[in-house]
């Protein structure tokens, strides 16, 4: 893994290092500044933050106390144009479960994207 310099940025879709002036990520092809607001922060599309309960399917269930992994996966999906929603299932006395929901029409693409990132080793992702 290489060290980032002040001239590097991180791809919002896959987390790879990208040169400051690059328009697309050389690793995954995502547009780098497509969703940045005027302050340079990622600007989420509100349409990607809600999944219709009538058509949603459970994509992943995380056994976690913090939900950090779930947030990262959901952010990756949204950065790639796939709407997702997180929901917590708390059962007293058991570890918290975080559920990642997507629309049934997006489930196959979402699963493939998460699988692709999961199988990429640390050298491939950075």
Give the model confidence (pLDDT) of 18-67 as tens digits: 776 777 778 777 776 655 544 444 556 788 888 999 999 999 988 776 67
pLDDT given at position 40: 46
pLDDT of residue 12: 67
Could you tell me which residue, 88 or 57, shows the higher pLDDT?
Answer: 57
**How far apart, in whole angstroms, are the C-alpha atoms of residue 68 and residue 42?**
17
Q: Give me the numbers of helices (H) and strands (E) for the chain, helices first please.
A: 3, 5
CATH for 46-119 is 3.30.70
Specify the pLDDT at position 100: 92
Location of structure tokens 């196959």: 108
CB 25: neighbour CB atoms within 10 A? 20
What pTM did the predictor assign? Answer: 0.60
Cα–Cα distance measured from residue 102 to residue 84, given in angstroms and rounded to the nearest whole number: 5
Looking at the predicted structure, is the pLDDT value of residue 13 above 50? yes
Tell the residue number behind the tokens 């949204």, with chain if given. 78
pLDDT at 90: 64
């Amino acid at each position: 893994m290489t060290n980032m310099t002040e001239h590097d940025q991180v791809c919002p879709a896959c987390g790879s290092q990208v040169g400051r002036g690059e328009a697309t990520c050389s690793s995954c092809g995502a547009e780098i500044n497509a969703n940045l607001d005027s302050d340079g922060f990622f600007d989420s599309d509100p349409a990607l933050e809600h999944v219709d309960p009538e058509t949603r399917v459970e994509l992943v269930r995380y056994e976690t106390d913090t939900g950090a992994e779930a947030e990262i996966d959901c952010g990756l999906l949204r950065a790639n144009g796939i709407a997702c929603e997180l929901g917590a299932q708390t059962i007293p006395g058991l570890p918290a479960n975080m559920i990642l929901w997507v629309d049934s029409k997006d489930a196959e693409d979402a699963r493939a994207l998460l699988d692709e990132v999961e199988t990429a080793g640390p050298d491939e992702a950075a």
